[in-house]
A = this chain, B = another copy of it.
């Protein structure tokens, strides 16, 4: 009974944050009344009404822990989500993963065309930095947020992880090599999501960064397990793609059962990192559980 109440409370919290993020994104993305209309429409198609918004949820949870103001958190969360959305649009293109389905809808290059998908990704990335730079308040703090998001997204972060992923296709990676790749490909932006939430009010505590590293990795391990075991309908994106494309995954490196156990261990470590925060870390603990125990 207690557990059901907690779950319902978490679900309500998630729903309210997801709604707030959607509103912020809707307000910040230029509408089709601004030229070029088709590009702006495609940017909205790529970003709105989609996904679990895991990164924004982390930004809000970390920000709530740190005592940040919700309006400021909305912009930070939107900036992280725009970077995530841009990376999905580009990753789905024919020269990368060549995927036709994302969040249950045709991918941007299928719904529009490849050139538009390229420009959509480019412009979503730009908008992320623009939002952080246009936000009022303490300039040093906003600049630190730009720095954090850029270093997580660039060639030594997310884009670099993507490049390593491409190079590794068809090769068997060791667990260490896999971790090196995923710390960049997925972990860096998840870490930035947590850090930006804290930065909305002050410096990011080291324990939060540790938490972020654990769940960043856990997120990817679970992604690999789900790709191998879940269905396309459940995921809203093409399932079983990793093994067909010869991608290096945790399932391939250690087997599905050990991969699940590894994710569970990371969840435990993430909880441990939060110990000093007590009740203030409730949402972050729930998010660690959500990330590891999710079925989609």
On A, residues with C-beta under 8 Å from B are 30, 34-36, 38-40, 43, 86, 90, 93, 95-96, 113-119, 121-123, 125-127, 129-130, 132-134, 139-140, 142-144, 146-147, 150-151, 153-156, 159-160, 162-164, 166-167, 180
Q: How far is the CB of A110 from chain B (nearest CB, A)?
A: 13
Are A119 and B156 closer than 8 Å at their CB atoms? no
Could you write out 19 A-B pairs with CB less than 8 Å apart?
A34-B156, A35-B164, A36-B155, A36-B160, A39-B163, A43-B155, A90-B122, A93-B118, A115-B166, A118-B118, A119-B163, A123-B154, A125-B126, A126-B153, A130-B146, A130-B154, A133-B144, A139-B139, A139-B140
> Which of B86, B119, B155 contacts A127, CB < 8 Å?
B155
With A90-B122, A127-B154, A130-B154 known, 10 other A-B pairs at CB within 8 A are A34-B156, A35-B160, A38-B167, A86-B122, A90-B119, A93-B95, A127-B155, A130-B147, A133-B144, A139-B139
Contacting residue for A95 out of B115, B129, B139, B164, CB 8 A: B115
In contact, A147 and B126 (Cβ under 8 angstroms) = no
**Shortest distance from the beta carbon of A241 to any chain B beta carbon, whole Å:** 16
A162 proximity list for chain B (CB < 8 A): 119
B125 contacts A125, C-beta separation under 8 Å: yes
Q: Which residues on B sit within 8 Å (CB–CB) of A144?
A: 133
Q: Tell me the complex Cα distance, A46–B126, Å.
A: 20
The chain B residue sitting closest to A83, CB to CB, is B126
**Considering only CB atoms, which chain B residue lies closest to A164 in the complex?**
B36
Q: How far is the CB of A42 from chain B (nearest CB, A)?
A: 9
A35 and B121 form a contact (CB under 8 A): no
Asked if B180 and A122 make an inter-chain contact with CB atoms under 8 angstroms apart, the answer reads no
Whether A155 touches B30, Cβ cut-off 8 Å, given contacts A36-B160, A126-B125, A140-B139, is yes
Of the candidates B96, B117, B126, B160, the one whose C-beta lies within 8 Å of that of A39 is B160
Complex contacts, A34 vs chain B, CB 8 Å: 156
| Interchain CB contact (< 8 A) of A147 among B38, B114, B133, B159 | B133
Distance in angstroms between the alpha carbons of A132 and B126 in the assembled complex: 14
> Do residues B123 and A155 form an inter-chain contact, with CB atoms below 8 A?
yes
Residue of B with least CB distance to A87? B122
Chain B residues lying within 8 Å of A166, measured Cβ to Cβ, are 115-116, 119
Decide yes or no: A115 and B96 within 8 Å by CB, A123-B154, A130-B151, A153-B126 being known contacts: yes
A252 to chain B, nearest CB (A): 20
8 Å CB contact of A36 from B36, B93, B115, B167: B167
Chain B residues with CB below 8 A from A147, complex form? 130, 133-134
Cβ-closest 10 pairs across A and B = A95-B114, A130-B150, A126-B154, A123-B155, A133-B146, A39-B163, A133-B147, A139-B139, A139-B140, A36-B163
